[in-house]
């Protein structure tokens, strides 16, 4: 047989094999018995409602409430919230959630729970229409198009949708039903853009929502959701349990590949040590696969209930494990202040901080006891200790830089200077930020103040590298911290926007208020997202969660071994025991390890 005959025979056999082989099943998923009505299973009741939103101005929507037969009005009841609710509550649709809940609650595989099915908002057209116009129908006056809010509400990785649930929907439903206010008793579910909406609400408010199901989630760049894998890898783990599903034939369009994006999400959750599972399939962008495994997804996120969903560093591979200690969270040190700022440590383990509106400087001893150090601080903001043992203060209320001795007696270092924060070198030179005039001052030991930099949008936090050869200044109204080389005379050269903050997509500024450094050369910056930690090469390696969802103003290391992070967070002061260790600049320069480039 010659080669040509061999090739013909080979292709004939191949074609015969292809013709007789069973077809590959794509999206060939079916609903199981848990998704079918069962005899003798008590049926819950569904009611339909209408809501007009304030947060999403002008948006109207329908929503449905499922109440199980075993609902007890005397007991706070767990809640599941479903985005694109009309489809999820449909008893003949692809998910049939009420039927699934009836069956799983009856089998005691889920606790009795109320389910809220919420449609995305629609802002009616001026003629009152909430439906898309029919291009084949001519009308007089012309047809008008409503605004469909689904992508805005669901795909935006911000806290707005979580606030909508917490401030509008849940309180409205709670007027008729006894809903639990415990985040461990709340779950979220959605498909496609509704899937990323479910994750976003939990990510933004992890103490309010702890259980998430995402089917074919749109973790692509529709509105910035593609950033989640990076943020998961860098951010301190949150108490969220996640069920992801997607298919290899999902969407691939201008915003990205849904299949690849969901794999990135799963890989990031694994890297960060989350309690999660990923159910891959060969499905398309449809609810067939998700509907078929909805009972398993619900069982997964509610397993072991009422045991709480917790965050853990045990299985994390994040750089954050080099800083944080597993099981050591934020501890409240003091509260009841108006606005805390400027924490600074001495060499005895004490930490001092300001309460700006009350014009006081407080002292925290190593045991956590708080006392008043200065009763009238002149609205002092930033604080730092100098090599003379005095506490230097940016006393902006009196337009002065002052220093306090151990008894709180004040000495003026410079007059007629607007200030926010400061740092003192081991030689006694003082650098001061002046955001009002967009400049940085330098006050040499025993000399006159001088401006050493201008042009930042809002220079705020300020610190030094451990070797004290570089000055770092936070520009609060940008996404950068700037690095400068310090000259022998205190002047600055080599200005660069060296450190780039992560910024929420609904913000234009990083909000880097206060900054400090540790003995490894890492730089810690307060921000909208939490305490962002840069390596010496200027890259955000990790983000430590805020102790409360309020303004995070400033940070320092304190305690006898400088292994406690103290933060000023709005009306409170917190601390956290960590592996990292801080530095005291007045003790002299130190050489950190060479950075990994």
Residue 294 CA to residue 399 CA, distance in Å, equals 63
pLDDT of 13 strictly over 90: no
Residue 113 CA to residue 116 CA, distance in Å, equals 10
Write down the pLDDT at residue 595. 79
Task: Kindly list the distances between the CA atom of residue 219 and the CA atoms of 122, 198, 227, 265, in Å, as whole numbers in the listed order.
Answer: 23, 11, 8, 8
Q: Minimal CA–CA distance to 582: which of 515, 518, 526, 534?
A: 518
Neighbours of 581 (CB within 10 A): 14
3 state SS of 34: helix
Mean pLDDT of the chain: 94
Residue 507 CA to residue 570 CA, distance in Å, equals 19
3 state SS of 213: strand
Residue with tokens 């049926």: 43
Q: Which helix (H) or strand (E) holds 263?
A: helix 258-271
Tokens of 503: 């910024």
pLDDT single digits (tens) 373-411: 999 999 999 999 999 999 999 999 999 999 999 999 999
pLDDT-based confidence at residue 574 (cuts at 50, 70, 90): very high
Residue 172 CA to residue 343 CA, distance in Å, equals 42
Q: Minimal CA–CA distance to 353: which of 366, 378, 329, 372?
A: 372
The percent of residues above 90 in pLDDT, for the chain, comes to 91
Beta-bridge mates of residue 273: none
Write down the pLDDT at residue 551. 97
Write down the pLDDT at residue 20. 42
pLDDT single digits (tens) 112-129: 999 999 999 999 999 888
Task: Kindly list the distances between the CA atom of residue 496 and the CA atoms of 52, 187, 231, 477, 538, in Å, as whole numbers in the listed order.
Answer: 49, 45, 25, 16, 11
Write down the pLDDT at residue 505. 86
Q: Which helix (H) or strand (E) holds 516?
A: strand 515-517
pLDDT single digits (tens) 483-532: 999 999 999 999 999 999 999 988 999 999 999 999 999 999 999 999 99
Tokens of 402: 């002052």
Write down the pLDDT at residue 23. 42
Residue with tokens 């909430």: 130
Write down the pLDDT at residue 25. 58
Neighbours of 266 (CB within 10 A): 20
pLDDT of 14 strictly over 90: no
Residue with tokens 């009422």: 306
Tokens of 491: 């002047």
pLDDT single digits (tens) 173-193: 999 999 999 999 999 999 999
- Give the pairing type, strands 340-345 and 391-395: unpaired
pLDDT single digits (tens) 336-383: 999 999 999 999 999 999 999 999 999 999 999 999 999 999 999 999
* For residues 414-435, average pLDDT: 98
pLDDT-based confidence at residue 6 (cuts at 50, 70, 90): very low
Residues in the chain: 597
Write down the pLDDT at residue 133. 78
Is residue 422 within 8 A of residue 431, CB to CB? The reply is: yes
Residue 189 CA to residue 13 CA, distance in Å, equals 49
pLDDT single digits (tens) 126-152: 988 888 877 777 766 668 899 999 999
pLDDT-based confidence at residue 17 (cuts at 50, 70, 90): very low
pLDDT single digits (tens) 267-292: 999 999 999 999 999 999 999 999 99
Write down the pLDDT at residue 240. 98
- Give the pairing type, strands 114-118 and 79-83: parallel
Quote helix, strand, coil % in the chain, to nearest 5.
20, 30, 45
pLDDT-based confidence at residue 15 (cuts at 50, 70, 90): very low
Is residue 521 within 8 A of residue 595, CB to CB? The reply is: yes
Tokens of 498: 């060296």
pLDDT single digits (tens) 445-478: 999 999 999 999 999 999 999 999 999 999 999 9
- Helix and strand numbers (H, E) in the chain are 10, 36
Q: Minimal CA–CA distance to 354: which of 317, 324, 380?
A: 380
Write down the pLDDT at residue 216. 98
Task: Give Cβ neighbours of residue 471 (< 8 Å, ≥ 6 apart).
Answer: 423, 431, 440, 462, 463, 464, 483, 484, 486, 492
Residue 98 CA to residue 228 CA, distance in Å, equals 31
Residue 147 CA to residue 153 CA, distance in Å, equals 12
Beta-bridge mates of residue 352: 344, 363
Residue 93 CA to residue 287 CA, distance in Å, equals 10
Torsion of CA 102, 103, 109, 113, to 10 degrees: -10
Eight-class DSSP state of 168: I
pLDDT of 35 strictly over 90: yes
Residue with tokens 């706070």: 76
Write down the pLDDT at residue 144. 87
Task: Give Cβ neighbours of residue 6 (< 8 Å, ≥ 6 apart).
Answer: none
pLDDT of 18 strictly over 50: no
Is residue 261 within 8 A of residue 155, CB to CB? The reply is: no
Tokens of 444: 């040499």
Neighbours of 128 (CB within 10 A): 8
pLDDT of 10 strictly over 50: no
């Amino acid at each position: 047989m010659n080669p040509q005959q061999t090739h013909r025979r080979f292709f004939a056999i191949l074609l015969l094999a292809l013709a007789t082989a069973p077809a590959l099943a794509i999206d060939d998923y079916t609903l199981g018995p848990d998704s079918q009505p069962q005899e003798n299973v008590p049926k819950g009741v569904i009611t339909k409602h209408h809501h007009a939103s304030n947060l999403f101005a002008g948006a109207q929507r329908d929503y449905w409430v499922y109440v199980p037969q075993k609902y007890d009005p005397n007991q706070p009841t767990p809640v599941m919230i479903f985005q694109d609710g009309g489809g999820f509550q449909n008893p003949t649709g692809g998910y049939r959630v009420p039927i699934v809940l009836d069956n799983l609650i009856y089998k005691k595989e889920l606790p009795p729970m109320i389910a809220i099915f919420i449609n995305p908002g629609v802002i009616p057209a001026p003629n009152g229409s909430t439906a898309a116009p029919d291009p084949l129908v001519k009308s007089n006056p012309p047809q008008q198009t409503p605004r469909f809010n689904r992508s805005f509400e669901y795909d935006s990785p911000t806290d707005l949708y979580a606030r909508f649930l917490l401030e509008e929907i849940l309180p409205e439903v709670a007027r008729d039903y006894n809903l639990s206010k415990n985040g461990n008793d709340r779950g979220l579910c959605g498909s496609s853009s509704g899937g990323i909406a479910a994750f976003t609400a939990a990510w933004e408010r992890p103490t309010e929502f702890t259980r998430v199901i995402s089917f074919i989630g749109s973790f692509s760049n529709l509105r910035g959701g593609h950033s989640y894998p990076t943020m998961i890898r860098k951010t301190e783990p949150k108490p969220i349990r996640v069920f992801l599903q997607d298919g290899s034939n999902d969407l691939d369009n201008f915003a990205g590949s849904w299949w690849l994006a969901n794999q990135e999400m799963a890989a990031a959750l694994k890297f960060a040590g989350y309690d999660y599972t990923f159910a891959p399939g060969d499905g398309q962008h449809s609810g067939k696969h998700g509907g078929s495994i909805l009972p398993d997804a619900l069982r997964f996120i509610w397993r072991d209930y009422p045991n709480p969903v917790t965050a853990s560093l045990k299985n994390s591979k994040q750089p954050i494990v080099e800083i944080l200690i597993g099981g050591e969270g934020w501890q409240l040190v003091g509260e009841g202040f108006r606005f805390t700022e400027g924490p600074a440590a001495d060499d005895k383990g004490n930490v001092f901080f300001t309460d700006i509106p009350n014009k006081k400087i407080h002292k925290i001893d190593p045991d956590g006891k708080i006392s008043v150090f200065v009763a009238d601080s002149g609205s002092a903001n930033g604080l730092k200790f100098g090599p003379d043992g005095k506490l230097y203060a940016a006393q902006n209320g009196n337009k002065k830089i002052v220093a306090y001795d151990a008894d709180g007696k004040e000495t003026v270092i410079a007059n007629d200077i607007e200030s926010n924060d400061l740092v003192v070198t081991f030689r006694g030179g003082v650098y001061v930020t002046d955001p009002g005039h967009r400049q940085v001052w330098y006050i040499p030991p025993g000399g006159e103040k001088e401006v050493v930099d201008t042009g930042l949008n809002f220079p705020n936090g300020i610190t030094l590298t451990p070797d004290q050869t570089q000055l770092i200044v936070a520009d609060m109204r940008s996404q950068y911290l700037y690095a400068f080389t310090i000259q022998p005379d205190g002047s600055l050269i080599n200005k660069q926007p060296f450190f780039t903050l992560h910024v929420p997509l609904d913000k234009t500024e990083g909000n880097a208020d206060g900054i400090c450094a540790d003995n490894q050369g890492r730089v810690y910056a307060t921000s909208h997202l939490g305490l962002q930690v840069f390596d010496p090469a200027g890259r955000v390696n990790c983000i430590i969660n805020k102790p409360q969802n309020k303004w995070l103003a400033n940070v320092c290391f304190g305690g006898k071994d400088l292994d406690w992070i103290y933060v000023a967070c709005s009306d409170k002061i917190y601390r956290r025991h960590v592996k990292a260790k801080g530095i005291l600049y007045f003790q002299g320069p130190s050489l950190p390890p060479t950075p990994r480039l």
